[in-house]
Amino acid sequence: MNEIRKTDLKPREERTYKALAEVTLPRGGTVPEGALDMPLVNFINTFFSYAEPATRLGFKIALFLLEFMPLFIIFRPRRFSSLSTTQRDVMLNKMRGSSIYAVRGIYLALNSLIQMCFYTQPSIMDKVGYIGYREAVRKVPK
């Protein structure tokens, strides 16, 4: 079994994750809250504290690449976190539809982490009508 490690995101990693979250799940979508209204940093730190070292390293590399990809994806010599929300959205859409598997993989991995943070919050589960694992198990006939 993997030992639990305390992990803390660096300030630049927090900035990049928040920039990604702001575009991935903005306020006023399906539910009024957005990903930035959730405990994003705590969720990611907890996720990484249980993850294997290779998983942590993979996400760190993916996040680093995302931060410097605007030059190659939308031809802007800026960091991802310093782009406008519109430019970030354009870039993420290009990554999602890229013919290069690794570029799509970076998008999917980081987007999935943001989605997990958002949709595992009890308040969001209630708003989208998900009864949750514990309720579902309790209602299964024996």
pLDDT above 80 for 134: no
**Over residues 11-40, mean pLDDT:** 91
Residue 121: per-residue pLDDT: 86
- 9 touches 41 (CB < 8 A): yes
Share of the chain above pLDDT 70, in %: 89
Residue 138: per-residue pLDDT: 60
**Over residues 12-40, mean pLDDT:** 91
Give CB contacts under 8 A, 24+ apart, made by 112-117.
Answer: 113/44, 113/47, 113/59, 114/17, 114/20, 114/21, 114/24, 114/25, 114/35, 114/40, 115/24, 115/25, 116/43, 116/47, 117/21, 117/35, 117/38, 117/39, 117/40, 117/43, 117/44
Residue 84: per-residue pLDDT: 96
pLDDT above 90 for 123: no
pLDDT above 70 for 142: no
Q: How do residues 43-93 score in pLDDT, each as one tens digit? A: 999 999 999 999 999 999 999 999 999 999 999 899 999 999 999 999 999
Residue 120: per-residue pLDDT: 86
Residue 131: per-residue pLDDT: 75
DSSP string covering 30-49: SSS--GGGS-HHHHHHHHHH
pLDDT-derived band at 135, boundaries 50, 70, 90: low
* pTM (predicted TM-score): 0.84
- 41 touches 63 (CB < 8 A): no
